[in-house]
């Protein structure tokens, strides 16, 4: 280790400036860091301890900077993702898990919850949302992933007992299974008499906060349900459920990826969003009758 002269040359400063900086540091620490003679400077015991701590701190900073840089160029590091429970399990998770299989250095943390998480406060890197984006998306970037198509359906037994509705107006005479979450009912979006898609308020004695439970109730013959195609595709294929009002346009729900607005988007986040944009629509393809 050289003296103040070598340090000054390395830093592009004068020897006097380096000496004054070290004097200020010693004053702040209230300890002597150097033995000084007219020919050489050497570290005191306290100076050696302080130097070793500083060297470790510098190494940690360099490692952090290297990891940040590699995160922009390599598929590595942790990715925390929040998603709705069923939509996440059926449509989102398979895509992201396949991405993790392709990139062994990716640490993938998936969180399944139907509540609207605070992406920034809860430390998520990515969140999946369905429906209109509200004020909770402020401070976030958003990208549309695809469209969820929905169908009104019921079991063959229910339709045999209660008849098949031929228009939206006839729904009022039927048993309706509604999705309710956090004291808010998911209003069906169906065409009015002019064909315009509008909110269709319906009364129901059966309200559930789980879409799969609604599909089970519809399959059991308890009423009509308005559900995403990806959830009931297999039940429709096997005839457990039957789609009704097929000659009328049904409502759709947009789904989005949200992430904190950052100057440099890590590669792991960008590739995850790109994979969802490319592959998610395939998992929500319309049913071919």
The pLDDT tens digits of the residues spanning 146-195 come to 988 889 999 999 999 999 998 888 888 999 999 987 777 778 888 776 76
Please report the pLDDT score of residue 40 as a whole number: 67
Residue 191 region by backbone torsions, left for phi larger than 0, else alpha for psi between -120 and 50, else beta: beta
The pLDDT tens digits of the residues spanning 90-141 come to 999 999 999 999 999 999 999 999 888 889 889 999 999 987 777 667 778 9
> CB-based contacts of 189: which residues, under 8 Å, 6+ apart?
150, 197, 198, 199, 200, 250, 251
Please report the pLDDT score of residue 256 as a whole number: 94
Please report the pLDDT score of residue 289 as a whole number: 45
Residue located via tokens 């200020």: 24
The pLDDT tens digits of the residues spanning 7-23 come to 777 777 787 887 788 88
Q: Which of 44, 28, 24 is nearest to 36 (CA)?
A: 44
> CB-based contacts of 285: which residues, under 8 Å, 6+ apart?
none
Query: Long-range contacts for 95-101 (Cβ within 8 Å, ≥24 apart)?
Result: 95/275, 95/276, 95/279, 95/280, 95/283, 96/272, 96/275, 96/276, 98/275, 99/271, 99/272, 99/275
The pLDDT tens digits of the residues spanning 56-82 come to 887 777 666 655 554 455 678 899 999
Residue located via tokens 């390395």: 10
One DSSP character per residue, 40-106 reads: -EEE-HHHHHHHHHHHHHHHHHHHHHHHHHHHHHSS-EEEEEEE-HHHIIIIIHHHHHHHHHH-TTE
Q: Would you say 95 and 279 are in contact if contact means Cβ atoms under 8 Å apart?
A: yes
One DSSP character per residue, 217-286 reads: HHHTTS-EEEEEHHHHHHHHHHTSSEEE-TTSPPPEEEEEEEEE--SS--HHHHHHHHHHHHHHHHHTPP
pTM for the model: 0.66
Tell me the two tokens of residue 222. 């308890």
The pLDDT tens digits of the residues spanning 193-217 come to 676 777 887 888 899 989 999 999 9
For the chain, the first-to-last Cα distance in angstroms comes to 79
Q: Would you say 124 and 81 are in contact if contact means Cβ atoms under 8 Å apart?
A: yes
Confidence grade of residue 38 (pLDDT, cut at 50, 70, 90): low
Please report the pLDDT score of residue 152 as a whole number: 93
Confidence grade of residue 1 (pLDDT, cut at 50, 70, 90): very low
Please report the pLDDT score of residue 278 as a whole number: 92
Q: Is the pLDDT score of 237 beyond 80?
A: yes
Please report the pLDDT score of residue 187 as a whole number: 81
Residue 122 sits at φ, ψ, to 5 deg, of -95, 5
């Amino acid at each position: 280790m050289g003296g103040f002269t070598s340090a000054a040359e390395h830093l592009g400063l004068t020897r006097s400036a380096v000496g004054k900086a070290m004097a200020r540091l010693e004053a702040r620490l209230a300890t002597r860091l150097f033995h000084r003679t007219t020919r050489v400077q050497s570290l005191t015991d306290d100076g050696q301890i302080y130097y070793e701590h500083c060297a470790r701190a510098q190494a940690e900073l360099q490692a952090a900077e290297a990891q940040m840089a590699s995160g922009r160029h390599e598929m590595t590091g942790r990715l925390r993702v929040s998603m709705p429970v069923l939509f996440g399990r059926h449509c989102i998770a398979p895509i992201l898990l396949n991405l993790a299989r392709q990139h062994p250095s990716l640490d993938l943390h998936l969180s399944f919850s139907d509540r609207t998480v605070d992406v920034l406060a809860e430390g998520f890197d990515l969140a999946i949302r369905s429906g209109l984006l509200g004020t909770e998306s402020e401070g976030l970037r958003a990208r549309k992933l695809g469209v969820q198509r929905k169908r009104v359906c019921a079991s063959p037994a229910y339709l045999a007992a209660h008849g098949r509705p031929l228009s939206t107006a006839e729904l009022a005479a039927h048993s309706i299974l509604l999705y309710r979450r956090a004291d808010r009912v998911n209003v069906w979006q169906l065409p009015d008499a002019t064909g315009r898609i509008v909110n269709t308020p319906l009364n129901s004695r059966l309200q559930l906060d789980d879409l799969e439970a609604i599909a089970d109730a519809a399959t059991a013959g308890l009423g009509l349900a308005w559900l995403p195609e990806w959830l009931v595709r297999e039940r429709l294929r096997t005839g457990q459920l039957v789609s009704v009002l097929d000659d009328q346009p049904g409502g759709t729900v947009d789904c989005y990826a949200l992430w904190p607005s950052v100057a440099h988007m890590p590669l792991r986040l960008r590739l995850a969003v790109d994979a969802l944009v490319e592959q998610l629509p395939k998992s929500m393809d319309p049913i071919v009758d």
